């Protein structure tokens, strides 16, 4: 059985002196090769949810949070326990990230940026790297540095880099926000296709509902559920029908 990311009864909070925000995920499951679109009004916790999934935030409550397959279950809630595999190790091993605007290293070429993900994880695979460069239409610019690429090309490099080490899951936070509608649609389609080809599950946040509607993916949304004026703002993950 391919890997499946499973969350049940998971909560994560942000707090400072004046306020507290809690995101609740009653139930979320993302399978290998599956694409999930994440939406929700500004401030409902989309980035926080993606940070939780990518082990950048420690959950405050967990019934189940793990990656399961036939051969093993990796308990993601235990990565903060001393002596366990660290969040950074598990993150580098299991996840790829596509940030809002590239996040590429400016002094490395396209190929070197993509290859870095393989060398960090110890998963060198020149054939897969060449496949990604080809599928993402980057063959003609592979020797160039990010500064001489268009924004759309940079996002395609970021997609290739996120998938280069064959992660089980890809987390994309507003990956097309900086692109014009045509380039956004191309990049979104490629992200979904390339992730599926690599057998990776992908979760993509976007404000652009019309863009998400172009692709046949499962949809989840965050909604604010706290009463107005409540001491703690609370948001919750809801499941929606795919519209495409
Ligand atoms: N230190 C903090 N303490 C309490 N609440 C916080 C803190 N930092 C951020 N928040 C709140 O957490 C909520 C979730 O933020 P997050 O950035 O995840 O939302 P988002 O849905 O990604 O927003 P956007 O669509 O505008 O990017 C926001 O309402 C924000 O105001």
**Residue 220 alpha carbon to ligand 1 centre in Å:** 18
- Number of residues that make up the chain: 244
Distance of CA 11 from the midpoint of ligand 1 (Å): 14
- The best mutation among 44, 172, 205, 209 to test binding of ligand 1, ranked by most ligand atoms within 8 Å of the C-beta, falls on 44
pLDDT digit string, tens, across residues 20-29: 999 999 999 9
Please determine, for the modelled complex, whether the ipTM score is greater than 0.90. yes
Question: Which residues, at least 6 apart from 83, have a Cβ–Cβ distance to it below 8 Å?
Answer: none
CATH number at residue 122: 3.40.50.300
Name residues contacting ligand 1 (CB within 6 A). 14-16, 19-21, 40, 42-48
Residue 204 clears pLDDT 70, i.e. is over it: yes
Residue 103 maps to a domain: yes
Q: Is residue 211 part of a domain?
A: yes
Per the CB < 8 A criterion, the answer to whether 91 and 117 are in contact is no
Ligand 1 geometric centre to CA of 9 (Å) = 20
Residue 111 lies in a domain: yes
Residue 200 CB neighbour total at 10 angstroms: 25
Domain that holds residue 64: 4-239
Candidate from 25, 39, 40, 47 with most ligand 1 atoms within 8 A of CB, to mutate: 47
pLDDT band at 96 (very low <50, low <70, confident <90, very high): very high
The pLDDT confidence band at residue 102, using thresholds 50, 70 and 90, is: confident
Q: What is the Å distance from ligand 1's center to 42 Cα? A: 8
Q: What is the pLDDT of residue 230?
A: 87
Report, as an integer, the average pLDDT of 56-80.
Answer: 93
Indicate the number of domains in the chain: 1
Average pLDDT over residues 36-60: 96
Q: pLDDT: is 100 or 150 the higher one?
A: 150
Residue of the CA atom closest to atom 17 of ligand 1: 47
Residue 206: inside a domain, yes or no?
yes
Establish if 244 belongs to a structural domain: no
pLDDT higher than 80, residue 242: no
| Ligand 1 centre distance from Cα of residue 20 (Å) | 10
d(Cα 170, Cα 122) in Å, to the nearest integer?
18
Nearest atom in ligand 1 to the alpha carbon of residue 40 is 21
Residue owning the nearest CA to atom 16 of ligand 1: 45
Residue 20 inside a domain? The answer is: yes
Ligand 1 nearest-atom number relative to CA 15: 3
The rounded mean pLDDT for the chain is 93
| Residue-wise pLDDT tens digits, 137-190 | 999 999 999 999 999 999 999 999 999 999 999 999 999 988 889 989 998 999
Pairing relationship of beta strands 4-15 and 20-31 according to DSSP bridges = antiparallel
Asked if 119 and 137 count as a contact pair (C-beta separation under 8 A), the reply is no
Q: How much distance in Å is there from the Cα of 60 to the middle of ligand 1?
A: 16
pLDDT above 70: residue 208:
yes
**Rounded percentage of the chain residues whose pLDDT exceeds 90:** 79
């Amino acid at each position: 059985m391919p890997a499946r990311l499973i969350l049940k009864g998971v909560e994560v909070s942000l707090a400072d002196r004046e306020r507290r925000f809690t995101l609740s995920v009653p139930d979320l499951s993302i399978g290998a090769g599956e694409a999930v679109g994440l939406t929700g009004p500004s401030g409902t916790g989309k980035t926080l949810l993606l940070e939780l999934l990518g082990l950048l935030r420690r959950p405050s409550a967990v019934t189940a949070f793990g990656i399961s397959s036939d051969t093993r279950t990796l308990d993601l809630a235990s990565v903060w326990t001393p002596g366990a595999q660290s969040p950074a190790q598990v993150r580098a091993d299991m996840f790829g990230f596509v940030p809002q605007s590239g996040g590429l290293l400016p002094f490395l070429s396209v190929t070197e940026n993509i290859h870095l993900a393989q060398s960090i994880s110890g998963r060198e695979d020149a054939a897969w790297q060449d496949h990604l460069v080809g599928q993402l239409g980057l063959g003609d610019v592979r020797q160039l540095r990010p500064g001489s690429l268009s924004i759309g090309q940079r996002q395609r490099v970021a997609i290739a880099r996120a998938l280069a080490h064959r992660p089980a899951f890809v987390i994309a936070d507003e990956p097309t926000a900086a692109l014009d509608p045509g380039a956004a649609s191309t990049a979104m389609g490629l992200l979904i296709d390339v992730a599926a080809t690599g057998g990776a599950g992908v979760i993509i946040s976007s404000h652009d509902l019309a863009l998400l509607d172009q692709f046949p993916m499962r949809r989840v949304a965050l909604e604010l559920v706290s009463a107005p004026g409540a001491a703690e703002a609370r948001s919750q993950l809801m499941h929606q029908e795919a519209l495409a």
